[in-house]
Amino acid sequence: MLSEFASQAGASLSMGDNITLGTVVGSIAGGLVGGKLPKWKGVKGGWLKNTLGEIGFNSARGAIRGSATGGVGALIDGGNIGKGIANGAKNGAIGGGAQSIAMIAAFGATYKPSAKKLEYVNRMAKATGISAKSVNWRKGGIYQGIMSLLDNKREVTWGNNVATFNKTDADVFGHEFGHIIQVRDQGWAIFQAKGIYEQLILGSSSYGKFETNEYGAEKYLHTNGGCSMRGYCPVH
């Protein structure tokens, strides 16, 4: 719900809305509504189908969330509720579409990996009770292009999104799902902060250091039969 609130508040401010009591309360209302709405999941099909689908879905989702924000905000501030709903829906749709375009540009369109590639992911989901169905597996973005040019194809997890490559195997899918589990346990901000620290400060040694996210993700994988980093696989 907190991420929904932050997203809606950011969309409102980016559209030039003033910060008022109505803006804050409205953003909370929009966050509550957004938390109840379904989220985009990759579908079977190519890049274009998933790209257009995600942008359209999140634009509509943003409009619904934004209408709640605008309506409640207008009610609190004593404005025109109908106009508030309409403006909120417009701003929400633009914000939802823009966020989708940015994510697709950065990490690529969503897609449905094969059952073989999700072998360890499904085992880990069953063992932990954390569903993998809502994870957005992505490929073909700017990040992947830069990493390919640098000959450093390293997958990365950002929130509920995982940037992958064509050659990403089942073990690495499992490792990245270990990070998804950590996002659920730690929260987005703590997880990303730890991840950035580990990559920039500890580097590859983080895979062998107890209590790092990399070690923890690999342990989740190894417990379920996989190993993505030979020589770093934790003991059960």
CB 98 within 8 A of CB 42: no
- Once rounded to an integer, what is the mean pLDDT over residues 207-229? 90
pLDDT digits (tens, 9 = 90+) for 160-212: 999 999 999 999 999 999 999 999 999 989 999 999 999 889 888 888 788 89
- At residue 26 the predicted structure's pLDDT band, cuts being 50, 70 and 90, is confident
Domain membership of residue 160 (yes or no) is yes
- At residue 72 the predicted structure's pLDDT band, cuts being 50, 70 and 90, is very high
Q: Given a cut of 60, is residue 2 above it in pLDDT?
A: no
Structure token digits, residue 34? 């957004």
pLDDT digits (tens, 9 = 90+) for 4-21: 555 555 666 666 666 788
- Once rounded to an integer, what is the mean pLDDT over residues 56-84? 94
Boundary residue ending a domain (53, 84, 107): 107
CB 18 within 8 A of CB 57: no
Q: Are residues 73 and 154 in the same domain?
A: no
Q: Given a cut of 70, is residue 234 above it in pLDDT?
A: no
Q: Residue 135: left (phi > 0), alpha (psi -120 to 50), or beta?
A: beta
Domain membership of residue 234 (yes or no) is no
Looking at the chain, the whole-number percentage of residues with pLDDT higher than 90 is 72
- Once rounded to an integer, what is the mean pLDDT over residues 71-83? 93
Q: Are residues 84 and 180 in the same domain?
A: no
Q: What three-state secondary structure class fits 110?
A: strand
- Once rounded to an integer, what is the mean pLDDT over residues 70-89? 93
Q: Are residues 124 and 92 in the same domain?
A: no
Q: Are residues 15 and 117 in the same domain?
A: no
Per-residue pLDDT, 112: 96
Per-residue pLDDT, 120: 98
Pairing of strands 161-163, 136-140: parallel
Model confidence, pTM: 0.86
Q: What's the whole-number average pLDDT of the chain? A: 90
- Once rounded to an integer, what is the mean pLDDT over residues 23-31? 87
Domain membership of residue 218 (yes or no) is yes
Domain membership of residue 231 (yes or no) is no
Boundary residue ending a domain (107, 130, 155): 107
Range of the domain at 10: 2-107
Boundary residue ending a domain (89, 107, 125): 107
Q: Which helix or strand (DSSP H or E) is residue 149 part of?
A: helix 142-149
Q: Are residues 82 and 152 in the same domain?
A: no
Per-residue pLDDT, 214: 93
Domain count, the chain: 2
